[in-house]
Amino acid sequence: MSISLTLLFCFFSSLAAAKQSRFYQSISPTSLDLQKEKLSHLHFYFHDILSGTKPTAVKVAEAQMTNTSSTLFGLVTMADDPLTVGPEPDSKLVGKAQGIYGSAGQHELGLLMVMNLAFTDGKYNGSTLSLLGRNMPLSTVREMPIVGGSGAFRFARGYALAKTHTIDLKTGDAVVEYNVYVFHY
């Protein structure tokens, strides 16, 4: 009897184990239709407009000390900034930079950038790149990581180089040139 109970227990245990699903599995990149990885260079201008009747970036939070801080520490801004082919405001629109940036440095001006670069034109229409990193706006050229993407940029990784083209120190309005280098499939 004990042998038949043991066999019965083993049978039901193996049946239960077979029915349990795993939350992971290894798969081949070809199963997702991923072809050869390529490196792309994107060049565009980011228009961050804080002034006027239709700003593209607005303050959404600040700390009590923000207005007395030389670096505006604690200021958080939400953006829906146009990305264009050229630096002119009426240049061809190729996408939007949508996300937040916050003043994260207490002793030097440093921004935490969390942006989706959402493309609306051409080959990459409907695709996005995700930028997450430190932006030191007083540096001539800033490097920030590209940590992912969607659409044509699925599995993306790379970096963005940002260089201020123009800035209005009274209003804070800025046009920034971006060169983005990204690996993707």
pLDDT digits (tens, 9 = 90+) for 43-90: 999 999 999 999 999 999 999 999 999 999 999 999 999 999 999 999
Distance in angstroms (rounded) separating the CA atoms of residues 136 and 121 = 29
Output the pLDDT for position 31: 86
Give burial (CB, 10 Å; 0-12/13-18/19+) of 49: buried
Output the pLDDT for position 30: 83
- Reported for 97-100, long-range contacts at CB under 8 A and 24+ positions apart, including other chains, are 97/46, 99/131, 100/60, 100/76
Give the end-to-end CA distance of the chain in Å, rounded to a whole number: 61
| Global pTM value | 0.85
140-166 per-position pLDDT tens digit: 999 999 999 999 999 999 999 999 999
Q: Give the position of tokens 């565009």.
A: 44
What beta strand segments (E) does 108-184 contain? 111-119, 128-135, 141-150, 157-167, 174-184
Residue 185, C-beta contacts closer than 8 angstroms, at least 6 positions apart = 29, 34, 35, 36, 37, 38, 154, 155
Distance in angstroms (rounded) separating the CA atoms of residues 170 and 131 = 27
